Amino acid sequence: MPGLLSSPVCLTVIWFLSWSLRPSHAQIQTDEASGVQYAHLESNVTMACGKSQIRTPVVWHLNSSSVLPWHKVTSDGTLVLLYVDHSAQGNYSCHDDRGLLLHSVKLRLGHPPGLLSISCQVPNHTHVRCSWVESVKTFLPAKYSASFRGNGKEWRPCVVDVIRKHCDVDHPFFWTTIHTLRVTETNALGSETTSVRIRLNELLKPDPPESLLVETLEGYPKRLVVSWNIPSSWPLHDAFPLMFQIRYRPQGSIYWSEVYSEHSPVVIFDALAGHLHQFQIRVRDEVNSESQWSDWTPVFLIRPWEVSSTPESTEDRFADYFFPFNTKPETSTAKSHNSVHPEDEGNLGLVILLVLFSVVILTTVLSLIFVLWVRQRRRNHVTKQELTSMVKMKSMPI
């Protein structure tokens, strides 16, 4: 029997049973090594005066003061604090009748962890950051552990930053329908695990574009050139195209004009001459329309080029100017934008084609008239012949 009891299997079973049968929310947890006792707020807290049984009466002090919160002391010198609140926290010490220190303990009060409110940010296809907020204020130091997995896959760690209360996963298996994040918060009074199920493709939200710059064009009082950089957190690869949305308006107007573009820079052709304009830009993954737009960048203020001596018709004077940028705004709302295409030289070909087309049409019409004329002439000729033969027949003696 002793052999059986000391066997590793038996010891493991005993340890497991003792672990699993312990109360889930121990009211009081004492950390012997650090001399800190943790207890639930709004409960009764019992503090013994050391391990040995005390026969003589003892005196309890809180932070070296004999004034204690609502309490009672039992015959064996144990202090029972009743329905404790935050004011009951502090350093407790018990002394014998000669004032000799017998035992001291620090009391910390709080709550066990509750469920966490978790939200995840997906700034690109290679990184997920999930952060959380406690639903229950525990007032106690906590530890967190987090793990992350795709549907039907193994759990992998989500690297925790305890101070900022978030965790990071690099290179997730992005093209999985559902991912699960599990965060466990543990403090001296217990632990709680919160799980959330997320769809990365719907949470994808790039960081805003960077270095937004709007410049004037000398000699063009209605044009502005908008340029920017892609978010530095976005992978610079063909596989991850972006769609940018620029919005602008004269300061004071409530209506925004919008331009969509896949590339920087873009030329705005309909700025209001002489007015200060506000510009903002945001970005979204171009492929996945279910993903989210980034936040807007801060407002950029600019006034188009102007010179007091410039006549009103400056814009017309430069109307045939060929702008060197390749700008292809995809769509626009509220106002129209004439994008400049480098293929303008192709217009000559178009003109030639149109001339050829007109010649062909003209030939067709002329041929049609000719055919109708020939047909009509033939019909007249036949009718004439018929009439002649009839006259001849009539004149013949029967």
Partner 1 sequence: MKLLLDSSSSLLFSLLLAQLPVFTSASPVPQRRPTDMDKLSNQTKNLLKLTQELLREHAFDSDVEPHRFRSLPEMSNRSANDLNNLELKPTLSQLHADLKLYEHHFEWLNKVSKKHHHPALPKLVEMIREMKSLINLLHRQMLRVEAPRLTQVTPSLPPHLPYQFDVLQSSHELLQHFKLFCDWAYRAFISLKPKVSAVQ
Specify the residue, 334 or 352, whose C-beta has the smaller distance to partner 1.
352
DSSP label at residue 240 = S
Rounded to a whole number of angstroms, the minimum distance from the CB of residue 357 to partner 1 is 5
Looking only at the bridges linking them, the beta strands covering 36-40 and 101-110 are parallel
Stretch that binds partner 1, among 72-80, 144-152, 242-250, 256-264 (CB under 8 A): 144-152
Binding mask 104-133 vs partner 1 (x if CB under 8 A, - otherwise)?
A: --------------------xxx-------
- Binding flag, residue 353, partner 1 (CB under 8 A): yes
Size of the residue set binding partner 1 (CB under 8 A): 47
Residue type, 308: S
Q: Which of 101, 162, 361, 387 binds partner 1 (CB under 8 A)?
A: 361
Cβ proximity of 245 and 257 under 8 Å: no
- Binding flag, residue 19, partner 1 (CB under 8 A): no
Distance CA 340, CA 73 (A): 89
**Phi, psi for 14 (deg, rounded to 5):** -65, -45
Specify the residue, 106 or 341, whose C-beta has the smaller distance to partner 1.
341
Distance CA 122, CA 240 (A): 14
DSSP label at residue 342 = G
Rounded to a whole number of angstroms, the minimum distance from the CB of residue 167 to partner 1 is 18
Smallest Cα–Cα separation from 240: which of 197, 266, 201, 198?
201
- Binding flag, residue 152, partner 1 (CB under 8 A): yes
- Binding flag, residue 238, partner 1 (CB under 8 A): yes
Rounded to a whole number of angstroms, the minimum distance from the CB of residue 319 to partner 1 is 18
Rounded to a whole number of angstroms, the minimum distance from the CB of residue 81 to partner 1 is 46
Smallest Cα–Cα separation from 115: which of 132, 130, 139?
132
Alpha-carbon distance values, 31 to 15, 36, 62, 104, 316 (Å): 20, 5, 18, 12, 84
Specify the residue, 122 or 188, whose C-beta has the smaller distance to partner 1.
122
Specify the residue, 244 or 248, whose C-beta has the smaller distance to partner 1.
244
Sheet harboring 242-250: ordered strands across?
300-302, 277-285, 242-250, 257-261, 332-333
DSSP label at residue 204 = B
Rounded to a whole number of angstroms, the minimum distance from the CB of residue 52 to partner 1 is 57
- Binding flag, residue 190, partner 1 (CB under 8 A): no
Specify the residue, 126 or 310, whose C-beta has the smaller distance to partner 1.
126
Q: Which of 162, 299, 307, 360 binds partner 1 (CB under 8 A)?
A: 360
Smallest Cα–Cα separation from 208: which of 287, 332, 292, 328?
292
The contact set with partner 1 (CB under 8 A) reads 124-126, 150-153, 171-178, 197, 201, 235, 237-241, 287-290, 341, 343, 346, 349-350, 353-354, 356-357, 360-361, 363-364, 367-368, 370-371, 374-375, 378
